Structure 1
Amino acid sequence: MHLDVQDLRNFYYRNALGRSAQASMRRRLLELWPEAKGQTVAGFGFAAPLLRPYLADARRVIALMPGPQGVMPWPPEGQNVAVLTEETLWPLETGHVDKLIILHGLETSDRAYDLLEEAWRVLGPGGKALFIVPNRAGLWSRRDRTPFGYGRPYSAGQLETQLRKHQFLPERHVGALYQFPSSRRIWMKSAAMFEKVGRTMPGMIAGGAFMVEASKLIYPPKGKVVRSKALRQKVPQGVTAPVAGFITGDPQG
């Protein structure tokens, strides 16, 4: 079950712990993908906090937000790139995406099998996907005061096994969120120290999230997915409406 977009927005943009978590994941992301010049970058779930570094140089940035979660206009400045979409029927051409980030999308989905097939479909040859999920061994998955306390947490092995079943090749994985999942002053003051120790000696502290980078294999996923007609969603005022069919060209919203 997806979380509500308002709760996610409040956590990442209006909560000190959420802003710290955003910084931790973004730092790790940029270690893996320092740039995306001239590329199409998409995010699914609530990946907006991690898409910002690519807004300036990417050919296109698209924030896909599933219907059960809801959508918000993003970024708050400039043209809107967020779109409300059916969870397993994205308004993107096959093979259109160079980089894909899934955050708060896989572990909360009731249709993870179809979701992974849709992710495989939109990636182009040589495309990379980054799957970010709660670590079942970490403290964050045990506290429902953060978004990482909802849905199904994974171990690294479980996630990589699931990705291989859907014709993804896991290549690298890193941990994130080594700080204690609390907004109390004593834990916030020590957050930088825990993050540094976790990044340099990951065996000492279990991170709150796994970030697994995977490439698209050339063979299509096993099984068949029946592609239904796109859902018609009501979009809040001020947000670009989903495009009927597939998105192409430069963003208009």
Structure 2
Amino acid sequence: MHKAIPSSADAFYQTHEGQTCAALLRERLQWFWPDLRGQRVLGLGYAGPYLGAWRGRGALCISARTPDHRPESANAQTSMPFSACDRECVVDPYALPFDEDAFDRIVLVHACAEEDQMVPLLRAAGRVLKDDGRLLMILPNRLGGRLRQKNTPFAQDVACSRTGLRTMLGHAMLLAERRDEALFLPARQACTSMGRGRRSDIAGKVLSPGLGSLMLVEAVKDVFSGTPLPVRSPRTWFKKMLCPAQETATQKSGGPPEGASRIPET
């Protein structure tokens, strides 16, 4: 009989399945960003288990927990394997206590449970992200992602489709560039070992692409989203047909076309 997987993030990532899940996703994060030496990385939400992808490799990693993931006690915090090496704090995710353009990379995971709060959250993250920085989100797929990962922290996160996420990022003045997916099977089955997790993800990408439980989406700032464009009234098909007819009638009558200057006779 399988042991129940806890839904809280602190408890989940202390289980064997949670640690294997974090290890599998860290491999995908390293595929996105293999070398971050000398860069500042912010983990927003509950990203401590994933910052190990670059911890100890020359990157400054800061874990910013949201209030939903506040440590229950000091003993609980120090018992986590990733907390001892992290600079960790609890923040208001919609008013981050960091300077503008403070981070080169941001990892967002387990950060929001309500869809209508995603755009303010992404805008707050974009404020502290450098202009040439990159943001990486780990979100459940709307196509059954939360259902397959029930009783894990991913079941409480906002689930998005590709189209919905593209719209959401556009409202936050961000643009998706690269995508990946993971955990095609429930964590209880896929995360029993690293080998099984890798094999199930490879098979899922071949046999059922787009149906992974989790989406990994890398986004950058969309510098053109705030550029005002000139507004021109569209010409209907009737006006397009009428204007050439009027010009032809004017030329036949001997008069100059509209806007042309008459040359005086000498």
Q: TM-score, normalised by structure 1?
A: 0.74
What is the distance in 2 between the residues matched to 1:187 and 1:59?
A: 28
- Which residue identity lines up with residue 20 of structure 1 in the other structure? T
Which deviations, in whole Å up to 9, do the C-alpha atoms of 1:36-76 show, x marking residues without a partner? 11001001001111111222234421111112321445734
Structure 2 residue corresponding to 1:122, chosen from 112, 120, 128: 128
* Residue 111 of structure 1, CA deviation: 2.5
Relative distance call for 1:220 and 1:115 in structure 2 (3 A) is farther
Which structure 2 residues correspond to residues 153-232 of structure 1 after superposition, within 5 A? 153-182=159-188, 190-199=196-205, 201=206, 203-204=208-209, 206-218=211-223
What is the distance in 1 between the residues matched to 2:168 and 2:191?
A: 38
Q: Which has the higher contact order (CA 8 A, sep 6+)?
A: 1
Mean Cα deviation higher: 99-108 or 85-94: 99-108
Residues 145 and 213 of structure 2 are in contact (CA less than 8 Å); yes or no, is this contact kept in structure 1? Answer: yes
User: Which residue number in structure 2 is paired with residue 77 of structure 1?
Assistant: 84
Aligned-CA RMSD value:
3.0
Relative distance call for 1:217 and 1:146 in structure 2 (3 A) is same
Partner SS state of residue 36, structure 2: coil
Which structure 2 residues correspond to residues 94-105 of structure 1 after superposition, within 5 A? 94-105=100-111
User: Which residue number in structure 1 is paired with residue 8 of structure 2?
Assistant: 7
Mean Cα deviation higher: 213-222 or 82-91: 213-222
* Residue 109 of structure 1, CA deviation: 6.6
Relative distance call for 1:193 and 1:208 in structure 2 (3 A) is same
Residues 130 and 214 of structure 1 are in contact (CA less than 8 Å); yes or no, is this contact kept in structure 2? Answer: yes
* Residue 100 of structure 1, CA deviation: 0.3
- Which residue identity lines up with residue 29 of structure 1 in the other structure? L
> Rg larger in 1 or in 2?
2
2:17 corresponds to 1:17: yes
Relative distance call for 1:142 and 1:117 in structure 2 (3 A) is same
Structure with the higher fraction of residues in helix conformation: 2
Long gaps (5+) in structure 1: 1-5, 223-253
Which structure 2 residues correspond to residues 236-247 of structure 1 after superposition, within 5 A? none
Relative distance call for 1:89 and 1:220 in structure 2 (3 A) is farther
User: Which residue number in structure 1 is paired with residue 259 of structure 2?
Assistant: none
What is the distance in 1 between the residues matched to 2:70 and 2:199?
A: 35
2:39 corresponds to 1:39: yes
Relative distance call for 1:186 and 1:126 in structure 2 (3 A) is closer
Identity among equivalent pairs (%): 26
- Which residue identity lines up with residue 163 of structure 1 in the other structure? L
What is the distance in 2 between the residues matched to 1:153 and 1:93?
A: 29
Residues 179 and 187 of structure 1 are in contact (CA less than 8 Å); yes or no, is this contact kept in structure 2? Answer: no
Residues 180 and 191 of structure 1 are in contact (CA less than 8 Å); yes or no, is this contact kept in structure 2? Answer: no
- Which residue identity lines up with residue 123 of structure 2 in the other structure? E
- Which residue identity lines up with residue 112 of structure 1 in the other structure? M
What is the distance in 2 between the residues matched to 1:77 and 1:138?
A: 35
Residues 26 and 52 of structure 2 are in contact (CA less than 8 Å); yes or no, is this contact kept in structure 1? Answer: no
Relative distance call for 1:86 and 1:220 in structure 2 (3 A) is farther
- Which residue identity lines up with residue 49 of structure 1 in the other structure? P
User: Which residue number in structure 2 is paired with residue 67 of structure 1?
Assistant: 67
User: Which residue number in structure 2 is paired with residue 136 of structure 1?
Assistant: 142
Partner SS state of residue 28, structure 1: helix
Long gaps (5+) in structure 2: 1-6, 72-76, 228-266
Which deviations, in whole Å up to 9, do the C-alpha atoms of 1:106-131 show, x marking residues without a partner? 34576222211101100012000001
